[in-house]
Amino acid sequence: MNSYRISRLVILIAGMVVISGCVSPDISDLEQYTQEMLSRPGGRIEPIPEIHPYEAYSYQCAEMDCVDPFQLFYEQRPAQQEEVVDTGLTREMEMEIKNRNREELEEYELDSLKMVGTMEDQAEYWGIVVDPDGIVHRVSVGNYMGRNIGKIVNIFEDRIELREIVRNNQGRWEERQAALALIE
């Protein structure tokens, strides 16, 4: 108990010394600086510029050959329409081909991927797919697999159904159905 009282006394004395160092009665340097600033001459503020009143103007055109201010002064030519080639792409198909990042399973041909099972999470099925390198992937509806932009449209216990976008013999894009069956 005695060491406890001594440590409290030492802390109290140290605190008093610190606080007394913070409060200095000598503020002559501050007073000198304040007097110096107040003795400087003040500056002149420039006057606000004069604001001219708005003058309304009425456009008068009594002659027939005067120019209409609302008519174009140059001739607008209709844009030349390019020949539209029907590729067979719908807007959705075009967006899928051009404006999205490729997913990992799109590096492989669909027939090289193996469906090994499913998982269910609150009435949503997840497909379990193994790629040729032996890496296991979990896929859901909306993911892509295979090199033909195969979008997963349904997952069942025994298969994964996809919609692929491929070119036909005439070079047109078309959709086709594909499936990846469960390997037993």
Q: Is the pLDDT of residue 167 over 80?
A: yes
pTM of the model: 0.50
pLDDT value of position 24: 62
Q: In this predicted structure, what is the pLDDT of residue 4?
A: 81
Burial of 161 (0-12, 13-18, 19+ CB in 10 A): middle
Domains in the chain and their CATH numbers? 100-181 (2.30.30.830)
pLDDT tens-digit map of 15-44: 877 776 666 667 888 889 999 988 888 778
- Token pair of 61 as six digits: 């055109």
The answer to whether 159 and 181 have CB atoms below 8 angstroms apart is yes
Under DSSP, the state recorded for 143 is -
Helix (H, G, I), strand (E, B) or coil at 28: helix
Identify the three-state secondary structure at position 120: strand
Q: Which candidate, 101, 91, 129, places its Cα nearest to that of 113?
A: 129
Q: What is the dihedral of CA 41, 42, 44, 48, to 10 degrees?
A: 180
Selection from 38, 173, 16 nearest residue 94 by Cα: 173
pLDDT tens per residue across span 67-99: 777 777 667 666 666 665 566 666 666 776 677
